[in-house]
Structure 1
Amino acid sequence: MDFWTRLLGGSSKKQATANNPQQRLARFKQRYNQILQTWQKSDSLASDREAIAGIRRGFQALTSILNDESRSPAPHLCLGFAAAQQIYTAVSKIAATSHDEGMVRDAVAVYNALIDSEEEDFLENDVFAASLMNFVGRTVGSGSMGIGEDIEADIVELLFGIAAKIRLQPEILPVWFTTAAADSHGRLVNQKVDFAGMTQKEDFPLCYQLIDHVHHEGRIGDFARTGLLYIFESASKSMTLEQWIVNSDLPTLMATGLGALYSQLSRKLSILHIDAGEGLPLILKLSDYAEMQPNPQAESFFSDDFQGHMNTFLSYLAFWQDVLVHCTSVEVRLTLIDHFQVLFLQQLLYPSLLESSDVDGGSSVAVLTYLRRILDMLDHPELVHMILHYLLALNDYAVSSPRTPRSPAAVKRRQSLLLLNVPDKEDDKMNPSLFNLVDLVLSSTSSQDAQTVISGLKLSTVILGKNHGYALGSIIKIMHAHHREPHRTVGALNAELESYLNLAIGLAGEAGVDEVYDCHLKEKLSMLENHPCSLKTLALQTLSVQSPGYFDTESGPRDVGPHYLMPEDPLFKSLLDILLTFLTNDVETNLALTETIITLGTCSQLRLEGWLSVDAAEYHFENTDLEPQNFTNDGLRDMYRASCQPTWDASATPPLLSSLKSLEAQVDALRADIQDWDEHVASRKHAFRTYEELSEVSKATPPQVKPARLGADLPAGSWTPQIPKHVLENPTTPSRTASPRGRKEGLDMKHTPAASPSLRAGGQGQILAGSPSRGMSPLPAPRATNRQTTFMTDVLGNLAEVNNHPNFRRRIRFRRPAGSQTVEVLLSKYQPPPKDPDEDATAGAEQGAEGKKDDVNEASLGHIITNVVILQEFVLELVALMQVRASLFSEVRFA
């Protein structure tokens, strides 16, 4: 008993000693004096390792004591002593002269302990601010000692904490921001300012330190960007800071920094997958994708270096967007926009578009890809408006000063920027009206290079889907509809749906069509509801859908009214030309093509007549005299007539349907010439479906249930893998409605390509792993077991072996006569000759009547079969789109 009493008594005594303020202060003074003595005795601290180790132990002890005191009840004598003696000045000098990373880390810990104590008002102390910024400038500033990234991140995090305090407590701003150029009322006096602004780091060193680190990746960049964001947000609470930012070179540094990151991106880019082996997506493995050769001079989109540069650039662009959203100071916001317009958009982004070329093998691909990523990431209406109005050379684009009143300094600054963009000679002026984004997109979609076509289609998809109002009259040519009432009847809709459905079944059979179609209905409903033009269409008439407060001028996105697609639209003609060679196109081109057409049809204001549906004026109703005579009123008679299915002349067939029928004729020719054609197509569809289901199983942790049967209703001759019992033990069939179905990134996402747009539902939806959305889920998917992984590898191996069979490697040629809109299949009677010097003479003999060469393409049988499966999915998407639109937007008449 005496033992436990002595033990407990001793613990209480030690605890009381530790919590005694006087004894704690004595220990603090002792440690601090030891640090000063060691520092003063050392002739060269940087080379005295023993002294550095002793001082580091002293810093760590000071930090521990300060943290303990902050958690203890008052009085806090150590913090009072630290403030009175200004120990931070000694800490700053010692750490800066030691040139030791460990010493710097321990000094940062001391500063953090002082700031976190929230006592003695360290952040309101001019000497503390000067000491800290001098320490930061010597350690991470220009010509600093070169510390590691982890310590640099700690320092930038410390600066971020101070910026956050300034945001919450604006009264401490004068401590960290001072300027001698202010008058007695706190307003900056007029000074001579050129376009670059004044560089006065001594006025606000905290701000300059943050902007020096905003370009970094990881923690450093995140803390710097957020801290600088807080500084801009504080400008609305301080007129002096607001005018200082307008007059300083801060906007110039931000704009030139964005331009520097853009310039680091490769001038030539290849969007082909690097790994043509095990890492290649299944849909590409079952095609001729491996035969595509990248430009050796172009950087790969999938390389780690490029992805790092691209992510850094997009992060900084997102920072620009965040600053404009959170900055409530109109003058600062407009000044930033002016610099973005002149220094980035007009002097860098547009010249890169102007200098791009499809001839050099990659520069057009690069510019198109960069523009797509920029527009896909940006949501701020002012930035989007500025970029698209300038690059598309829209008529209502204005470079005049906004109507919002601005200070004389801001007006003078804007004039200096505009003069900067004036060339010495009028001939050197770069004018988007001569060559703009429309010209680049149209030339890219009609290019002979597959990568250029893919890039142009993907950029068109982003503009049509996300910024549809800007595409009207530029990317696509339209004519306005004067009648809002629908002309199409429900009977005509049923007839058109039946035509498309029969075409889809004729392409690749009826197996799985119902399930696929059901998935597409749900997907198209989501796409239509989320389209920017649908908000006005679906909103109640009594509700306002006007976006609040972004624009100070009449430069907002134009109001989109009902319109038709003009028959001679160049982009749509290019889409139809690509569609005619669908069977021999590479898979990624077809996926991008189908996505563009579907996106075009998701605009609620675009009428389908003339390109996807039949014009109501072309309807022919037969046997109208045979209608029942016992109608009780005219309304029922009108309903009956509206439900009748009309016919139409061949000349009235929509262009898209005509092109699909041409493809159906090509498939019919192949079916008649190739033995077991339907079985081959069914096997390919089943292979995709099986792989999807196995992929879903591999992501889950299956409990013990009865195995599901697969392949019970397969046609004869189809390939059926023997699936082990442990793989099939899954509680339910994998849900395909939860599969990622978007096509935002297509197949160009790093490491895990997004789901194929045309092979997404009904078993083909989850062919490729990975979500296409910009924000990935924070929860990692469960890993597959070794047995499942091995089996998946075996399945892939079997599929690759089947696809490499000589029968599937057989080459089939397609010929499109010069100037014709039909494609002829060169059947078994034609055997491709071996390549030799005489091949050019053979190709030259295939000429049309006017001496123009026919367009001859070839592909393997396996590649064509994969494209047929994609084509059926696309037709089903069109059917779902038409049906959902008719219901959601009331596009047909029932009477």
Structure 2
Amino acid sequence: MDFWTRLLGGSSHKKQQAANDPQQRLARFKQRYNQILQTWQKTPTLANDREALGNIRRGFQALTAILNDESRSPAPHLCLSFAAAQQIYTAISKIAATSHDEGIVRDAVAFYNALIDSEEEDFLENDVFAVSLMNFVGRTVGSGSMGVGEDIEADIVELLFGIAAKIRLQPEILPVWFTTASADSNGRLVNRKVDFAGMTQKEDFPLCYQLIDHVHHEGRIGDFARTGLLYIFESASKSMTLEQWIVNSDLPTLMATGLGALYSQLSRKLSILHPIEDLPLILSLSDYTGMRPNPEAESFFSELLQNHMVTFLSYLTFWQDVLEHCRSIDVRHTLIDHFQVLFLQQLLYPSLIESSDVDGGSAVAVLTYLRRILDALDHPELVHMILHYLLALPDYAVTSPRTPRSPAAVRRRQSLMLLNVPEADDDRMNPSLFNLVDLVLSSAGSRNPQTVVAALKLTTVILGKNHGYALGSLVKTMPVHHREPHRTVGALNVELEMYLNLAINLAGENGVNEAYENHLKDKLSMLESHPCSLKALALHTSPSKVPGYFDSEAGAREVGPHYLIPEDPLFNSLLELLLRFLTNDIETNLALTEVILNLGSCSQLRLEGWLSVDPADYHFENDGSEPEQFSTDGFGSMYRANRPPTWQSSATPPLMACLQSLETQIQALRADIRDWDEHVANRKNAFMFYEEMNEAAKTAQQARSSRPSSEAPGGSWVPQIPKHVLDNSTTPSRTQSPRGRKEALDIRQTPASSPAPSKLGGQTLIGSPRGMSPLPAPQAAKRQTTLLTDIDANFATFKKSDILKRRIPFRRLTGSQTIDVMLSKYQPPPPEEPSDDATAGAEPKEENEDVRDASLLHIITNVIILQEFVLELVALTQVRASLFNEVKFA
């Protein structure tokens, strides 16, 4: 037995030595290579000979395996030396390109990867290798090529990305992949006359053109292409020849026109209505189901539009990544110029002025696309260019010097600007005549709820993310000449109490304390993350220059303390919508409250005159007198600051007056409708219960995801992206519950805004028949499913109640700020056929009156939302006072 064991072991050892022997490995490599050549030469039509294709594929795979084994073996590496000396990659390239077989192409890509990954023989520094590889790529995935599958194309683009990464780390190999015959002896490009589009010299840098041909793709292809091209632009700062070549080439034009092509794929008419079959709870308990989209408009939630939107935004993000990483001033200036002329001025702005609210969708589309663009962009230069142009903002002086452009960049800009000059002055599109401000203001007053919602959501993004650009354009303000606050802590306490009492009068005291605590946390996070709060909260240290993306040519104006002008058109439009709060559709009210809260989040905007009472209107009883002990002890100023003031009704802030008008409407409903408070309490309990169940589901999902991988089968968990995240990440969705804002704050805000943990642990739930005690996971899941089924059934019964389907008209006389609830004129339940506009169910009865109606079901839901909004105002006012020292205590 020992004899046979030693004999077999020795045989195995000899085989292993033979496999690792460099000479024998080289012999096998040459044999395989010769077999491939013979098969190729003996087969006249390789594409039609399946047996020959199979033999060549096996040969390619064997060559790749030998190279990989040799790379892991100690030197000498004779096969790699043979491949470099004999330039066998040229034959591999020709065979793969003429085979028209995806399998052979895949194996050829693996062979090239094996050569590059070996990092020997300097393949990437070999001109012949570069030409051979780019010819292979051009014949397989270039224009007019054989057309391979998406997975193989992704492998090829990944190969190109790897080369671009090598060029970024080793700039000395750039001349191998980038050559130009127009450079002089010093390496500078010879001046050649070009038009705005630049020179198309694909033979100079085929790697770059192949990457730019794939940057607009989705998935791996687009990711690798965009990152590879990003490395190319980053390398421009290390090569003057490449820098000038990019400035004079058509690459900036291709990038700008490619962005425009992706934008043009988006639908011209858009509907942002949620699908009826997948409505959030808060929308289903309203008149939302009666709203119908324009049949010509594409749904924002359709898979096709979402795919186009993701691709467009990915390419837009790629633009700002290029500008951030590219250190060449001339290249960045050239890219910015092309973005401005070819995309902003010739495509984006024309779509704005051509939009209309009459055709039922084009205004909604433009406003929604602009919101997504501004939400995705963080680069100061791009944001500045878009908002400065679309809002028709005046130029203001730049304090620091600008970086001069090279003569080539200046000539390129001049030729590009000539393209945008119209033949006749009448054809010139000027934002000073019609701009984004005009579109937003006109849309905010539209009778189409979708147009209103789209305008409000865009306004929220501008106010919350780019507040400095909104001042003087969307929001009319006047500067504050005094720094010290004039409001007193006594007045603050009176106002907080008034707003809080108003909130309780709207929908009762049930759940107010818990909601208010959550709103305090949310508003603190919201204020701390506001762009205007950075200066107010910053420590007073020596000024230092904050590094930015670009030079000092861009940026919003410095935001100083300011008042809101009472005649501000935007604020008056918001008040008009707020006055119609009870009959507005749900999404309009959610967007409306979001705009007002974002307006009040600016630390530099004083609340006096619109949210708080002007201190000039304070009246104090026994003014001038104070207790003797305070005057003697020096506490007189503190006593005076803490006195509760009074004021006349004419001094009531417009926002508070509007809310008091809504309170009057609700009081009229409460006095006339039987069991009004019970209906409101049931609705609030339903929302609170549903929110608790959502939090419990989130907790259970987090617990499952935190388990070790051995407890769950592979691939059993698939991440789900909520629709509101796809819809908008800056303007949070609050369509799940009236208190949804605390769960969906801006992703740029601090984690302090996260919702409170679930309170299901043994406590009695409001609206539930009994308390819920902790259960084992299987029982808890079964219990949760049963409860959700029960509550859905209750909601179905709730919605079918005749009293809740009654429509209540609200009448407003022309020019009046009072809305009358026409309680004595109940109408029968609406017909089964839904109207085109659910929130404007009744046309004006007379020329001097405007009558709108809504179901009681819809009105009660709006009352719950209104109470949450007032509580948020109270929290905002309180947090601002303490965070920014807005009131004086002495």
State TM-score, norm by structure 1: 0.90
Deviations 1:696-749 (A, max 9, x none): 222334999xxxxxxxxxxxxxxxxxxxxxxxxxxxxxxxxxxxxxx9958946
Give the 3-state SS of the residue equivalent to 2:629 in structure 1.
Answer: coil
The alpha-carbon distance between structure 1 residues 195 and 286, as it changes in their structure 2 partners (threshold 3 A), is: same
Q: Distance in 2 between matches of 1:661 and 1:391?
A: 37
| Structure 2 residue 480 is the aligned partner of structure 1 residue 481 | yes
The alpha-carbon distance between structure 1 residues 55 and 373, as it changes in their structure 2 partners (threshold 3 A), is same
Alignment of 1:805-824 (within 5 A): 805-824=801-820
Which of 806-815 and 619-628 deviates more? 619-628
**Residue identity in the other structure for 2:138:** G
Instruction: Please tell me whether the aligned partners of residues 592 and 746 of structure 1 are also in contact (alpha carbons under 8 angstroms).
Output: no
Distance 1:552 1:811, change over 3 A: same
Shift of 1:9: 3.0
Is the Cα–Cα contact under 8 Å of residues 195 and 420 in structure 1 kept in the other structure?
yes
Q: Kindly tell me: are residues 702 and 531 of structure 1, through their superposed partners in 2, closer, same or farther at Cα, counting changes over 3 Å?
A: closer
Amino acid in structure 2 at the alignment position of 1:810: R
Are the equivalent residues in 2 in contact too, given 1:300–1:306 (CA < 8 A)?
Answer: yes
Contact kept? 2:188, 2:240, Cα under 8 Å: yes
Q: How far 1:608 moved relative to its partner?
A: 0.2
* Structure 1 residue 801, shift from structure 2 partner: 2.3
User: Residue 409 of structure 1: CA displacement?
Assistant: 1.5
Q: CA deviation at 1:818?
A: 1.1
CA gap of 1:844–1:885, structure 2 versus 1, over 3 A, is: closer
Conserved? CA contact 1:620–1:647, under 8 Å: yes
Structure-1 residue corresponding to 2:83: 82
Structure-to-structure mapping, 1:459-470, within 5 angstroms: 459-470=458-469
**Change beyond 3 A, Cα 1:749–1:372:** closer
Determine which of 869, 876, 879 is the counterpart of 2:864. Answer: 869
Q: CA deviation at 1:622?
A: 1.1
Change (3 A) 1:282 1:831: closer
Corresponding letter in the other structure for 1:181: S
The residue number in structure 2 matching 1:119 is 120
Matched to 1:127, the amino acid is V
Decide whether aligned partners of structure 1 residues 130 and 771 sit closer, same or farther in structure 2, where only a CA change above 3 A counts.
farther
SS of match in other structure, 1:306: helix
Are residue 9 (structure 1) and residue 5 (structure 2) matched? no
Distance 2:317 2:580 in 1: 39
- Structure having greater relative contact order (Cα 8 Å, sep ≥ 6): 2
How many residue pairs align between the two structures?
836
Aligned-residue offset at 1:756:
4.0
2:272 maps to amino acid: I
Residues 811-854 of structure 1 deviation map (CA, whole Å, 9 limit, x = unaligned):
11111111111111111444469889xx9xx978843xxxx331
Indicate the residue corresponding to 2:738 in structure 1: 759
In the other structure, the counterpart of 2:615 is: 616
Give the match's secondary structure for 1:564. strand
Q: 850, 853, 868: which one pairs with 1:855?
A: 850
Give the direction of change, closer, same or farther, for the CA distance of 1:198–1:845 in structure 2 (3 Å limit).
closer
Compared with structure 1, are the counterparts of its residues 581 and 226 closer, same or farther at alpha carbon in structure 2 (3 Å cutoff)? same
- Structure 2 residue 311 is the aligned partner of structure 1 residue 332: no
Take 2:687 and 2:235, find their aligned partners in 1: how far apart are those partners?
Answer: 55
> Does the CA contact (< 8 Å) of 1:746 and 1:772 recur in 2?
no
Q: CA deviation at 1:26?
A: 1.0
CA distance in 1: counterparts of 2:831 and 2:107, whole angstroms = 72
Alignment of 1:679-690 (within 5 A): 679-690=678-689
1:816 partner SS: strand
Q: Structure 1's 374 and 747: CA in aligned 2 closer, same or farther, altered over 3 A?
A: closer
> Closer, same or farther in 2 for the Cα pair 1:380/1:167, shift >3 Å?
same
Query: Cα deviations across residues 230-251 of structure 1 (Å, max 9, x unaligned)?
Result: 0000000000000000000000
- Give the secondary structure class of the aligned counterpart of 1:698: helix
Name the counterpart of 1:68: 69
Measured against aligned partners, the alpha-carbon deviations of 1:73-125 in whole angstroms (never above 9, x if no partner) come to 11111111111111100110000000000110000000000000000000000
After superposition, give the CA deviation of every residue in 1:384-429 in whole Å (9 maximum; x if it has no partner).
Answer: 0111010000111799xx9422222111110011110000000000
Contact 2:590 2:734 in 1 (8 A): no
SS at match of 1:193: coil
Task: Flag structure 2 segments of 5+ consecutive residues without an equivalent.
Answer: 704-721, 752-776, 836-840
Residue of 792, 800, 818 corresponding to 2:788? 792
Matches within 5 A, 1:179-578: 179-274=180-275, 276-277=276-277, 279-396=278-395, 403-544=402-543, 546-578=545-577
Task: Note the C-alpha offset of 1:771.
Answer: 8.2
Q: Does structure 2 conserve the Cα–Cα contact (< 8 Å) formed by 1:747 and 1:753?
A: no
Matched-pair contact (CA < 8 Å) for 1:744–1:773: no
CA contact (8 A) 1:391 1:436 kept: yes
> Equivalents in 2 of 1:219, 1:787: separation in Å?
42
How far, CA to CA, are the matches of 2:445 and 2:734 in structure 1?
A: 26
Q: Which secondary structure state, in structure 1, belongs to the residue aligned with residue 821 of structure 2?
A: strand
Please state how far the C-alpha of 1:19 moved relative to its aligned partner: 1.2
Residue 670 to residue 327, structure 1, CA distance change in 2 (3 Å): same
Instruction: Mark the CA change 1:51 to 1:554 in structure 2 (over 3 Å): closer, same or farther.
Output: closer
CA distance in 2, matches of 1:502, 1:834: 35
Shift of residue 331 of structure 1?
Answer: 0.4
Distance 1:171 1:675, change over 3 A: same
Partner of 1:106: 107
Q: Which residue of 2 aligns with 1:163?
A: 164
1:676–1:304 distance in 2 versus 1, CA, 3 Å: same
Unaligned runs of at least 5 residues, structure 1? 705-742
Distance in 1 (alpha carbons) for counterparts of 2:434 and 2:63:
66
Give the C-alpha shift of residue 651 in structure 1: 0.3
Secondary structure at the counterpart of residue 631 of structure 1: helix
CA shift, 1:17, in A, is: 1.8
RMSD, aligned α-carbons: 2.7
Distance in 2 separating the partners of 1:438 and 1:102:
57
The range that moved more, 17-26 or 417-426, is: 17-26
Q: Which residue of 2 aligns with 1:591?
A: 590
CA gap 1:834/1:346 in 2 versus in 1, 3 angstroms: closer
SS of corresponding position for 1:419: helix
TM-score (norm 2): 0.90
Say whether the 8 Å CA contact 1:207–1:231 is kept in structure 2. Answer: yes
**Aligned partner of residue 628 in structure 2, secondary structure:** coil
Q: Is the alpha carbon distance of 1:845 and 1:199 closer, same or farther for their aligned partners in structure 2, counting shifts above 3 Å?
A: closer
Cα distance change of structure 1 residues 845 and 433 upon mapping to structure 2, 3 Å threshold: closer
- How far off is 1:540 after superposition? 1.1
Other-structure match for 2:710: none
- Residue 786 to residue 282, structure 1, CA distance change in 2 (3 Å): same
Classify 1:754/1:420 alpha carbon distance in 2 versus 1 (closer, same or farther; 3 Å).
same
The answer to which of 33-42 and 553-562 deviates more is 553-562
Give the C-alpha shift of residue 559 in structure 1: 0.3
Paired position in structure 1 for 2:641: 642
Work out which of the residue numbers 868, 885, 888 in structure 2 matches 1:890. 885
* Distance across 1 between alignment mates of 2:564 and 2:694: 41
Measure, in 1, the Cα distance between the counterparts of 2:227 and 2:69. Answer: 30
Give distance in 1, aligned partners of 2:736 and 2:273: 17
Are 2:200 and 2:250, in contact at CA under 8 Å, matched by a contact in 1?
Answer: yes
Q: CA 1:282/1:114 → structure 2, altered by over 3 Å: closer, same or farther? A: same
| CA distance in structure 1 between the partners assigned to 2:75 and 2:130 by the alignment | 25
Show the 5 A alignment for 1:577-726: 577-624=576-623, 627-631=626-630, 633=632, 635-701=634-700
Deviation, 1:795, is 2.0
Query: Contact 2:844–2:851 at 8 Å: present in 1 too?
Result: no
CA distances 1:535-557 after superposition (whole Å, capped 9, x unpaired): 01111111436532445455421
Deviations along 1:576-634, one digit per CA (max 9) or x if unpaired, are: 00001101110000000000000000000000000000000000111346632112647
User: Partner residue of 1:801?
Assistant: 797
| Structure 2 residue matching 1:182: 3-state secondary structure | coil
On the 8 A contact 2:97/2:139 being kept in 1, the answer is yes
Aligned residues of 2:352 and 2:436 also touching (Cα < 8 A):
yes
Residue of structure 2 equivalent to 1:713: none
Q: Evaluate the alpha carbon distance shift between residue 702 and residue 262 of structure 1 in structure 2; reply closer, same or farther with a 3 A threshold.
A: closer
Contact 2:619 2:645 in 1 (8 A): yes
